[in-house]
Amino acid sequence: MLELRNVTKVFNPSTFNELVLYRQLDLKVESGEFVTIIGSNGSGKSTLFNIICGSLLPDAGDILVDGNSILKLPEFQRAKRFARIFQDPQLGSSPSLTILENLAIAENKNRRFGLGKAIDDKKIDHFITLLKEFDLGLEEKLNVKINNLSGGQRQALALLMVTMGNPSLLLLDEHTAALDPKTSEKIANLTNRIVKDNNLTALMITHNLRQAIELGDRLLMFHKGKIVLDLNGEAKKSLTVRGLIDKFNSLNMTDELSDAMVFS
C-alpha cells in the first residue's frame, strides 16, 4: 500500500548543523497492516510522518501509494487520503465548535457540498450510537464545545472523526502520550478496535513499549534514522518490554563504542 524507496533526508545541508537523518531508507507497509513504531528522541519517527504527509520533501528517493509516486502531490491533496493525529489533543478537532458540529464536518470532509442539511435527527442518532461504543460519556455531550472536553475525550473524538473520512492511511504520532495512564490505555484499546474494525492501514508512534508490543501486527524500532528492528507475526508476539529495553541499551552502547573508536 505504502512504500518508501531509497529515501534520503538531510537537514541544514552544507552547514555546521548538517544532519543526514535518513540514508536510503526503505519501508513497505501492506494494506491493512497496523505498525507500531518506537525509537529514542530524535531517531526520525515524526519526520517519517512529515515526509509521508508532504510537509517535508525527501532529498532523494520516492514515496509510493499503491505503486504510484505521490511525491508531486501537495500536502493538502495528501491530507484527503491520509489522516494524522498528534500528541496534542488540541489539534484533532475545532475547539470552538461542539462535538456534533465537529462530527458533521468530519462526515462531510470528502464530499462536494457543504454542511447544508448535514445535521438531521437520523444523523444525530447515528453519531450517538458511535459515541456510545466509546464508553466515555461523549454521547451526552453532543452540544458541548470541544474546549470543555478532557484530553482523552478529545483524542477519542479525533479517532472517530478521522475514521469517518475513510482514510487510506492513519498516522498516529504519540497520540496517547499526553494522557494519564488509565486514559492512555483506554485510547490505545480504542485505537486498536477502530483500526481493526475498519481494516485501516495504520502507523502508530509511541514511547509506551507495552502498547507497542500489545497493539498492531508489526513493530519497527528507529535509531538514528535507521530501522534497526522490524518484527511481525510470532517474533512480535514473543517480544517483552525487558527485551526491547535491552535492545535500546545495546544500541546506545554500540554508539558509545564506535564514538570511542573514532576519537581515540
Please identify which residue in the block is written with the cell numbers 530524535: 42
Name which of Mg ion, ligand ATP, none residue 11 binds, using a CB cut-off of 5 to 8 Å depending on partner kind: ligand ATP
Nearest to ligand ATP of 2, 221 (CB atom): 221
Name which of ligand ATP, Mg ion, none residue 14 binds, using a CB cut-off of 5 to 8 Å depending on partner kind: none
- In whole angstroms, the minimum distance from the beta carbon of 36 to ligand ATP comes to 14
Counting beta carbons within 10 angstroms of the beta carbon of residue 32, is it exposed (0 to 12), middle (13 to 18) or buried (19 or more)? middle
Nearest to ligand ATP of 109, 226 (CB atom): 226
Nearest to ligand ATP of 9, 154 (CB atom): 9
Residue 146 DSSP label: G
Nearest to Mg ion of 46, 198 (CB atom): 46
- In whole angstroms, the minimum distance from the beta carbon of 85 to Mg ion comes to 13
CA atoms within 13 Å, Cβ hemisphere of 145: 6
Q: Rule CB under 5 A: is residue 50 a binding residue for Mg ion?
A: no
- In whole angstroms, the minimum distance from the beta carbon of 10 to ligand ATP comes to 10
- CA dist 112 and 32 (Å) reads 27
- In whole angstroms, the minimum distance from the beta carbon of 39 to ligand ATP comes to 5
Beta strands 19-29 and 2-11, pairing class: antiparallel
Site string for Mg ion, 16-45 (x = CB under 5 A): -----------------------------x
Nearest to ligand ATP of 43, 153 (CB atom): 43
List phi, psi (to 5°) of 123: -65, -40
- In whole angstroms, the minimum distance from the beta carbon of 113 to ligand ATP comes to 37
The DSSP H or E segment spanning 106 is: helix 99-107
What residue ranges in 66-217 does DSSP mark as E strands? 68-69, 82-85, 169-173, 202-205
- In whole angstroms, the minimum distance from the beta carbon of 43 to ligand ATP comes to 4
Q: Of 1, 23, 32, 46, which one interacts with Mg ion (CB under 5 A)?
A: 46
| Of 250, 213, 201, residue with least CA distance to 29 | 201
- CA dist 187 and 260 (Å) reads 43
- In whole angstroms, the minimum distance from the beta carbon of 56 to Mg ion comes to 13
Name which of Mg ion, ligand ATP, none residue 42 binds, using a CB cut-off of 5 to 8 Å depending on partner kind: ligand ATP
Cα angle: 97, vertex 99, 103; to 5 degrees = 100
| Of 138, 215, 225, 234, residue with least CA distance to 170 | 215
Nearest to Mg ion of 46, 94 (CB atom): 46
Is 99 in contact with 156 (CB distance < 8 Å)? no
- Return residues touching ligand ATP (CB under 6 A): 11-12, 19, 21, 39, 41-47
Q: Site residues (CB under 5 A) for Mg ion?
A: 45-46
